[in-house]
Structure 1
Amino acid sequence: MLLTVATYAIAAEVRNDHPTTYTVQRGDTLWDIAGRFLKKPWLWPEIWQANPQVKNPHLIYPGDVLSLVYVNGRAQVRSDGPRVGEAIDTIPLSKIQPFLKQLTVVNEIKDLPYVLGLEEDRLLTSAGQVVYVRGMGGAQPGQLVSIVRPIVVYGVGAAVFGDDTNYSRAGVSQLNFRGKEDHHHWSSVEPLSKRERHGKVLGYELMRHATGEVMRVQGEVTVLLLRDEGRDVRVGDRIMPLETAPYDSRFMPHPPASLPPGAKVLAVADGDSIAGPNQIVALNVGTRNGIDNGTVFSMWHEGPTRPDNVKWNDKLTSMRDKVEMPDDYLGHVMVFRSFDNVSYGLVMESIRPTKVNDVLRHPDATE
């Protein structure tokens, strides 16, 4: 009975023009295929959950034939055909794979080991050279590590001083080689007040630049040999454990268990001001807010408050009679990597550009 009820609920979400069958193609994603059948692509796990004959929804291959038909009120999904190549991904992983391997977020950087000097006192160095690191207690010869560079610090300003839960605007500040802020690049409609700027630090973004191998330890200095042709390494770069599998390529889209208050777009990748489909954004929520990989949000731009210049002839009176405009729906974003207070999300589809400080809501939100 429960299966039948669930199936009827899904039937209401099926597109009126959905195809009866679809042959999976190379380059397809589960999200794209669900968009052919469903009004809400993030509901695709429910279709497979209602059809136990599909053992693993991630094991769908190019050449498989999917059909969505109803027999005695139940959805039937058939997967057959030759298995060619690798199983398809949930989302266009190729769009984010370089990003996933290069960036991470930590809560603090002051205690991380750091590059104190370079071979022959170079300004920059690369593979085949050695660097001298301070702070690597317990390092062992042969140990592999990542050399990362602090890029920005993420934060939010508190709308009420001292209230870390009532967020107003998101902020991003560039970091120098000491991991300190050079100057503020707080992205907001208007400059933040001093009170707002001292809100809450959400995390420090680090970019991977190279892999190093411990050659020897002399006193408090550890000598690293740069192993790969990555980015340049300089004094001030930090040392972190090497991540062999920094992300999971299999996601199950789902709405947040509960909507965190003040959830917003924190930044756009590569310092851009706007984002569109298949672009990456940072969000000011993370695992501490119950956000995990696969969480889907709808994105909204808050409507401005406008004076009624039609009703009133003089400007002062019209400014006292302001009307709040409706919020604008932008599209959907899905989290693909989450940290304590920050998550990275991929814009799945959008009808308007996404900007910093746009609001995150339940994927089914209508206003």
Structure 2
Amino acid sequence: MKKVFKDTSYFSVLGLKKQTLALTICAGLSIGVVTTIEASTPTRNINPPALKANAPNVYVVKKGDTLWDISKKFLKNPYRWREIWASNKYIKNPHWIFPGDRLLMCTYNNRPIIGKDEGDGCDGIIRRYGNGTVTLQPQVRIESLNNTIPVIPLDRIKNWLERSSVVAADSVKNTPYIVGAKDQRVLAAKGQSVYVRGNGLEIGQQYGVYRENDPYIMLDANGKKYNAGLEIVQVASGIATKQTGDLTTLEITDSYNSEIRRGYFVMLEEDAMLPTLFYPVNADEVIAGGKIIRIQGSIGAAAVRSVVSIDRGTNQGVKTGHVFSVNELGQTVKDPVTHETLQLPSENVGSIMVFKTFENLSYAYVLESDLPINIGSLLTPPIMND
């Protein structure tokens, strides 16, 4: 079957249709169909993670909890959760956390560990975990499960996981596009039909309808502008029902909170399971630098639960699950005594987690923010010491 876009590599991340996803904590072998990416084991800190002064000895997981929120209840530095999670590798699905699970904070070899209570307290958690041998290497992966506790609220990133992508600027050339709708409508929606111009569409095939957002225009090392990618967003799905010359009738079967306009692209829908890992990034894994270049769905600043775009992708070593600290540039002020112009130090204002990567860009979710996060805010690896 002939594809209608020029470069298929950029569209391998489109899809995840009608799947309920959960980012779940894993320390052993997954059960079920799942795609994963293995990563090198991060360097362990010599000092054990510092617990919060009010950290609970017992916590019952509630519906609506996220792994990040649970981590923050126990630790001063939630990045270090993987160092204290005590998974029991000898029972089925020991790595998944569900609402109603009773988590206990225990001590093993003078280090804090947290595990699920099976009715016999900390003694049972430590005994079942490995008969005295503890290897703390939990990971987070995407699973097709309905009730597991996610790292972050998936409903907040679902649209970007499923329906947004960044492609090469020239990859949409010669792509079929909408030229009109029945009844001379300017806009179309679910249940209506539109006319698509372009070759390569097949009768009976399901297609996606995509709008084009502003391109990502950035500066290279020499200060010259270049197009780093074009953002496209799926607004509808439809089935090709009739062809007349280079015009194809597309019956719209679903629309996604957006109208359908003339000029929108029509491309094959592709389903792909996006792999993910959740662990703090090491400083030597990602090319230094990086900043926030777009705040999705807002013309203002970002805050907790916002989605942002960053100018780092797979070409710079970024992987799904990497966490970055966000630093706001310090003000430029004039010294009142010497009248010199000074740049004040940058300040940490929050942290983000990457959930979808492209070649030179990535989408990230704002985990926490002490102050508004603005375009141009700088990215650094998180500080791993408490």
- Cα distance between partner residues in 1 of 2:329 and 2:211: 34
TM-score, normalization: structure 2? 0.73
Q: Report the equivalent of 2:167.
A: 106
Among 229, 242, 247, which residue is 1:216 paired with? 242
Determine the structure 2 residue equivalent to 1:281.
308
Cα distance between partner residues in 2 of 1:364 and 1:156: 28
User: Which residue of the other structure, out of 281, 306, 309, is the alignment partner of 2:333?
Assistant: 306
State the Cα deviation string for residues 283-334 of structure 1 (Å, max 9, x = none).
Answer: 111122221211100000112332212x14xxxxx2xx22221111111000
Q: Quick one: which amino acid aligns to residue 22 of structure 1?
A: Y
- 1:150 aligns with 212
Letter in 1 for 2:212: P
Give the Cα separation in 2 of the matches to 1:199 and 1:58: 46
Q: Is the 8 A contact 1:292 1:335 kept in 2?
A: yes
- Aligned: 1:358 with 2:377: yes
Quote the residue 1:184 is aligned against: none
Give unmatched runs, 5+ long, in structure 2.
1-42, 120-145
Deviation digits for residues 135-177 of structure 1, max 9, x if unmatched?
A: 341x32221111010021112123624xxxxxxxxxxxxxxxx
CA distance in 2, matches of 1:29, 1:54: 23
Structure 1 runs of 4+ with >6 Å offset = none
Which residue is equivalent to 1:265?
A: 292
1:134 CA displacement:
2.6
Amino acid at match of 1:340: E
| Counterpart Cα distance in 2 of 1:19 and 1:7 | 24
- Contact kept? 2:88, 2:94, Cα under 8 Å: no
- The answer to whether structure 1 residue 78 and structure 2 residue 115 are counterparts is yes
Write out per-residue CA displacement over residues 90-120 of structure 1, whole angstroms, 9 at most, x where no aligned residue: 1122222244334222122334321133224
- Contact 1:216-1:222 within 8 A present in 2 as well: yes
| 1:171 counterpart residue number | none
Determine helix, strand or coil for the equivalent of 1:200.
Answer: strand
Which has the higher relative contact order, 1 or 2, with Cα contacts under 8 A spaced 6 or more apart?
A: 2
Q: Percent identity?
A: 32
Distance of 1:136 and 1:44 partners within structure 2: 52
- The answer to whether structure 1 residue 122 and structure 2 residue 122 are counterparts is no
CA contact (8 A) 1:51 1:75 kept: no
- With over 3 angstroms needed to count, the CA separation of the structure-2 counterparts of 1:281 and 1:57, relative to structure 1, is farther
Distance 1:260 1:135, change over 3 A: farther
Q: Does the C-alpha gap of structure 1 residues 36 and 54 become closer, same or farther in structure 2, counting only changes over 3 Å?
A: farther
- The question of whether the paired residues in 2 share the 8 Å contact of 1:304 and 1:324 is answered with yes
* Counterpart-to-counterpart distance in 1, 2:304 and 2:91: 30
2:92 equivalent to 1:31: no
Change (3 A) 1:262 1:110: farther
Q: How many residues align?
A: 314
Pair 229,301 (structure 1): closer, same or farther in 2 beyond 3 Å = closer
C-alpha separation in 1, matches of 2:165 and 2:274: 11
- The match for 2:233 is 207
SS in 2 for 1:42: helix
Q: Deviations over 1:335-361 (max 9, x none)?
A: 111122221111101111100000000
Work out whether residues 79 and 384 of structure 2, in 8 Å CA contact, stay in contact via their aligned partners in 1: no
Secondary structure at the residue paired with 2:194? strand
Aligned residue type for 2:61:
V
Give yes or no for contact 2:302–2:308 (8 Å, CA) kept in 1.
yes
Contiguous gaps of at least 5 residues in structure 1: 1-5, 162-197, 313-317
Q: Is the 8 A contact 2:178 2:262 kept in 1?
A: yes
Counterpart for residue 89 of structure 1: 150
